[in-house]
């Protein structure tokens, strides 16, 4: 009997839903779910949430508290539908503030615990800036799990793994976007996709050198990228692409296998701040996409803040 590509993918990779859409999560039954400011904004705009969000907005002492309460409210609903992790993001506004990121992470975990969701179920998402990575290092030492996001290159990935991050989220599609803009005539399909190549390199390096940090490919543009990364630890996938995988029959071949990863170089020493910033400066794609990603997430957070402010004024 033929099985869907999604069913086959679940046999070799932990499938994660990249959405705040509860109906989609119910349908595709992922192990984990991830959210970000853009996805929280989409979920918050659903009509059936408006009354609940208005209550949150009116009862919160400031807009930061309201945004966090909304994220935890949606995340708590998601936690009832998935058996594994739920990722919730620290405000992009704090991307360059280590101490404020740590404080906000503590606040989010406390809110989840008050909602009856264990800290073990939560991944605190933090932008993979130098400051974000240092915050993650401290949080991991405290037993709080982290997901380092907006990750576009090996420099970020290695620094995150050296910091002890539970999980990293390399952004496949946004890497592709940058390269297509630079060279629109090139063939970036399948295994030529620079985002796929980046994730494979990170995955193989981590496995070859014994890093326990989970590699979770994210930000996919098409199912071809997902097929090319079958076997990765985790893949976080939008409902649209989950649906395509669920409707496609055929054979899905494993492309990544940690048992076969071989060290092609000695493990590199951990980076200090100067070396990290220099390498990011040298990698135009990673540097540009990191900054752009923070700005985009912050733009959507501002829209959410405006929405909550409007709802708070209603009686």
Among residues 205, 194, 204, 139, which one has the least CA distance to residue 171? 194
What is d(CA 309, CA 315) in angstroms, rounded to the nearest whole number? 12
CA angle, corner 150, sides to 148 and 156, nearest 5?
Answer: 65
Cα 242 to Cα 10, 27, 34, 239, 291: the distances in Å are 11, 10, 14, 5, 28
Contact (Cβ atoms closer than 8 angstroms) between residue 249 and residue 5: yes
CB 206 within 8 A of CB 213: yes
Q: Angle formed by the axes of helices 63-79 and 284-313, to 10°?
A: 100
Give the count of alpha carbons within 13 A of 16, CB side only. Answer: 25
d(CA 290, CA 174): 10
Q: List beta partners, residue 86.
A: 33, 122
**Contact 91/64 with Cβ under 8 angstroms?**
yes
Provide φ and ψ at 262, rounded to 5°: -120, 140
Residue 227 bears catalytic tag: no
Judging by DSSP bridges, how do beta strands 234-237 and 86-89 pair with one another?
unpaired
If one counts every other C-beta atom within 10 angstroms of the C-beta of residue 36, the result is: 26
Write down the catalytic residue from 10, 125, 227, 303. 125
The total number of residues shown for the chain amounts to 315
Active site residues: 125
């Amino acid at each position: 009997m033929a099985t869907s590509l999604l069913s086959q993918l679940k046999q070799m990779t932990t499938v994660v839903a990249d959405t705040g859409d509860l109906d989609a999560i119910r349908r595709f039954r992922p192990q984990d779910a991830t959210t970000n400011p853009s996805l929280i904004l989409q979920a918050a705009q659903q009509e059936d949430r408006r009354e609940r969000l208005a209550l949150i907005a009116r009862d919160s002492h400031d807009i930061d508290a309201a945004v966090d309460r909304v994220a935890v409210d949606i995340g708590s609903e998601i936690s009832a539908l998935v058996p594994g992790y739920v990722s919730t993001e620290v405000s992009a506004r704090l991307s360059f503030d280590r101490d404020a990121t740590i404080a906000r992470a503590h606040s989010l975990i406390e809110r989840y615990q008050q909602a009856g969701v264990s800290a073990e179920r939560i991944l605190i998402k933090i932008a993979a800036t130098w400051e974000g990575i240092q915050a993650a290092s401290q949080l991991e030492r405290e037993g709080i799990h982290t997901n380092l996001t907006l990750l576009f290159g090996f420099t970020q990935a290695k620094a995150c793994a050296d910091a002890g991050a539970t999980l990293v989220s390399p952004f496949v599609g946004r890497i592709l976007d940058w390269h297509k803009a630079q060279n629109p005539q090139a063939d970036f399909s399948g295994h030529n996709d620079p985002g796929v190549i980046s994730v494979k390199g990170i995955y193989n390096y981590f496995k070859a050198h014994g890093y326990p940090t989970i590699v979770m490919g994210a930000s996919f543009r098409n199912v071809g990228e997902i097929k090319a990364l079958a076997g990765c630890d985790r893949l976080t996938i939008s409902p649209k692409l989950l649906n395509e995988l669920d409707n496609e029959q055929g054979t899905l071949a494993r492309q990544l296998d940690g048992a076969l990863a071989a060290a092609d170089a000695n493990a590199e020493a951990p980076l200090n701040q100067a070396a990290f910033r220099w390498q990011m400066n040298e990698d135009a794609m990673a540097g540009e996409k990191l900054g752009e990603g923070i700005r985009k997430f912050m733009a959507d957070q501002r829209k959410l803040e405006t929405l909550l402010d409007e709802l708070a004024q209603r009686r």
